[in-house]
Amino acid sequence: MPSMSTQRTNEEWLNDLNASGEIQDAAITDLRDLLLRATLYFFNRNQGDVAGMDRDQILQCAEDCTQEALIAVMNRLADFRGDSKFTTWVYKFAINRALITARRERWKGKSLEQLTSFDSKTLTEWSLQDRSSGGLPDQSAIQSEISDTIWEVIERELTDRQREVLIMMVFNEVPMDEVVQRLGTNRNAIYKMLHDARRKLKHRLQARGFEIGEILALFTFQR
């Protein structure tokens, strides 16, 4: 027999989760099962990020991610507008939690030097990944010029801390909480340093004649 999670409409999901007693309990159980399956699916597809963990540890991480996602979904039920299936909407909460955990595991045990390791060759390889959805003409040439400009700013215009934060968060995809812990500061300070670094990059790129649309199409700075 199919589970209720495959039978509920969007409206039924919202009604049941906002109900009380046994109706709400059953809906939460179904929601939790859905989130756990999504989380385990993500870990199974990204085994390299959890290679240092055994099966029980992965399962425990999946349980933790599921609980965090469940709380987030329940707190944001009012945000659901019905533009997609409810199950698709909640799936993203599970994947987001799993992604953060996977990134944290990827960098666990590595030194600050490793976390901030970056050079012009790595930048070129990073920039040549297909980040454009618009198929801009002469994309490779544009990416190469932008890469050169970014490297100049990283080397000459950023403070040591701005450079570390930018490399860790944008290029090496180190989670915010890990950056905060490694640098011994707080989230507001990290946001400020990242904002200032991005502003310098944007200013220099625009000074070179690039439109902000071209920059955003080629490089995704929000990770």
pLDDT digit string (tens) for 48-94? 767 677 888 888 889 999 999 999 999 999 999 888 899 999 999 99
Say what the pLDDT of residue 4 is.
47
The CATH number of residue 9's host domain is 1.10.1740.10
Per-residue pLDDT of 106-138, as tens digits, reads: 676 666 776 677 665 666 555 555 444 444 445
Domain housing 125: 112-218
Say what the pLDDT of residue 142 is.
67
Same structural domain for residues 119 and 103?
no
pTM of the model: 0.54
Q: What is d(CA 175, CA 50) in angstroms, rounded to the nearest whole number? A: 15
Q: What is d(CA 11, CA 162) in angstroms, rounded to the nearest whole number? A: 46
Domain boundary among 107, 142, 177: 107
Burial environment of residue 80 by CB neighbours within 10 A (0 to 12, 13 to 18, 19 or more):
middle
